[in-house]
C-alpha cells in the first residue's frame, strides 16, 4: 500500500475521518439551503432537478473529498488515486462485466423490491422515501429529446459517477486502506455506507453489490478512474434505457429483462450470474 506524507495535525487516523464527514455534513447543509433557494428562482421543473443534482454532486461529494485530501496530505492527487491512468484491458473488463451482469442485477432489483417488511411506521417511511426518490429518478430518466438525454447522461451518468466515486472510493475507502485496514473490510464497509446514504431500502442490496464492485475496482486496479468509468457507464445506461423505453415500445420492458414471470425459474438471471462469474475468473486478473 502507498506511503503518503500526512500533515502533522492529521497524523491521527480519526482526524482524517472526522474531517471528511465533517466537510460532508457542512456541505450537505449548504446544498440543502441553496437547493431551497433554487426552488424559488427556477420555474422549470426539469431545470430545477438538473441544477439541484449537479449542485449536490459538486458540493456534497466532490468538494469534501478534495478539501479532505488537500488538508490531510501534501499529496492529495495520490491520496485520491487520481494520478493513475487505467489500461485498455481494465476498461474492457469493466464494460463487459456490467453488460453481462445486467439480467442478474435486474432480478436482484426485483427481489429487493419484493421484500415484504412487517407493517410498521418504519416500513411506511421506507416506502415514502423510496417513492419520493423514484419520482425524481423517473423524471430524470423519462426524457424524450436528444438534448435532454445528453444533459441527463452528463449529470446523472458522468458527474454523479465521478462525484460519488471520488468521495466513497477515492476518499473514504482510500483512507481506510492507507490506515492498513483489510482491503475486503474497507471495500464492504464503504459499500454499505454508500448504499445506506441513498436512503432507499428497496434498492439497498443491488446498490451494495455495485458499491462493492466499484470498491474492488479501485482497490485492485489502483486507480479511481476505473470505478468512475464503471459508475458513469452504469448510470448512463440507465438513462439511455429510460430514453429508449419512452420512445420505442420495443424497449419498454428492458429494465425487467432477466426477471422471470410468476412461477417461472430465473433462467436468464442465473445464466447472467454464471457468465459474469466465469468472465471475472478468466479476465479479472487484468484489473490488477
Residue 80 has pLDDT above 80, yes or no: yes
CA distance 99 to 30: 37
Longest dimension (CA), the chain: 62
The average pLDDT across 80-99 equals 93
Residue 96 has pLDDT above 60, yes or no: yes
For the entire predicted model, the pTM comes to 0.91
pLDDT of 131-153, one tens digit each?
776 777 777 666 667 888 899 99
Compare 24 and 135 and report the one with higher pLDDT.
24
pLDDT tier at 249, thresholds 50, 70, 90: confident
Q: Residues 6 or more apart from 278 whose CB is under 8 A from it? A: none
pLDDT tier at 262, thresholds 50, 70, 90: confident
Q: How far apart are the first and last CA of the chain?
A: 13
What rounded mean pLDDT belongs to the chain? 89
Residue 18: what pLDDT? Answer: 95
pLDDT of 156-185, one tens digit each?
999 999 999 999 999 999 999 988 899 999
Alpha helices per DSSP H over 198-288: 204-221, 225-247, 267-283
CA distance 155 to 47: 12
pLDDT of 116-127, one tens digit each?
777 767 667 767
State how far the alpha carbon of 282 is from the alpha carbons of 102, 106, 214, 275, 279, in Å.
19, 24, 19, 11, 5
DSSP string over 128-175: HHHHHHHHHHHHHH---SHHHHHHHIIIIIIIHHHHHHIIIIIIIIHH
Its sign, for the CA torsion 162, 22, 172, 201, is negative
Percent of the chain with pLDDT over 90: 60
Residue 250: how many other CB atoms lie within 10 Å = 9
Residue 1 has pLDDT above 60, yes or no: no
Neighbour-count burial of 138, counting CB atoms closer than 10 A to its CB (0-12 exposed, 13-18 middle, 19+ buried)? exposed
CA distance 174 to 215: 10
Residue 39: what pLDDT? Answer: 83
Residue 142: what pLDDT? Answer: 64
CA distance 242 to 120: 33
The average pLDDT across 11-37 equals 93
pLDDT of 35-63, one tens digit each?
889 888 887 888 888 899 999 999 999 99
Residue 266: what pLDDT? Answer: 93
Amino acid at each position: 500500500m502507498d506511503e503518503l506524507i500526512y500533515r502533522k495535525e492529521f497524523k491521527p487516523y480519526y482526524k482524517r475521518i472526522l474531517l471528511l464527514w465533517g466537510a460532508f455534513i457542512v456541505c450537505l447543509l449548504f446544498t440543502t439551503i441553496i437547493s431551497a433557494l433554487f426552488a424559488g428562482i427556477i420555474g422549470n421543473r426539469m431545470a430545477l432537478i438538473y441544477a439541484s443534482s449537479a449542485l449536490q454532486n459538486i458540493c456534497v461529494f466532490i468538494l469534501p473529498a478534495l478539501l479532505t485530501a488537500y488538508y490531510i496530505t501534501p499529496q492529495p492527487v495520490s491520496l485520491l488515486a487520481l494520478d493513475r491512468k487505467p489500461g485498455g484491458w481494465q476498461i474492457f473488463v469493466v464494460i463487459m462485466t456490467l453488460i453481462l451482469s445486467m439480467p442478474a442485477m435486474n432480478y436482484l432489483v426485483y427481489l429487493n423490491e419484493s421484500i415484504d417488511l412487517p407493517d410498521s411506521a418504519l416500513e411506511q417511511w421506507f416506502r415514502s422515501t423510496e417513492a419520493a426518490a423514484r419520482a425524481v429518478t423517473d423524471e430524470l430518466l423519462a426524457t424524450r429529446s436528444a438534448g435532454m438525454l445528453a444533459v441527463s447522461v452528463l449529470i446523472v451518468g458522468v458527474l454523479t459517477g465521478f462525484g460519488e466515486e471520488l468521495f466513497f472510493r477515492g476518499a473514504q475507502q482510500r483512507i481506510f486502506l492507507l490506515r492498513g485496514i483489510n482491503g475486503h473490510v474497507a471495500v464492504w464497509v464503504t459499500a454499505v455506507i454508500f448504499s445506506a446514504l441513498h436512503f432507499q431500502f428497496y434498492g439497498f442490496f443491488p446498490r451494495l453489490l455495485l458499491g462493492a464492485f466499484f470498491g474492488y475496482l479501485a482497490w485492485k486496479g489502483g486507480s479511481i478512474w476505473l470505478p468512475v468509468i464503471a459508475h458513469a457507464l452504469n448510470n448512463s445506461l440507465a438513462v439511455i434505457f429510460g430514453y429508449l423505453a419512452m420512445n420505442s415500445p420495443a424497449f419498454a420492458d428492458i429494465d425487467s429483462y432477466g426477471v422471470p414471470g410468476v412461477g417461472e425459474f430465473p433462467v436468464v438471471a442465473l445464466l447472467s450470474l454464471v457468465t459474469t462469474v466465469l468472465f471475472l475468473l478468466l479476465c479479472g486478473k487484468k484489473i490488477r
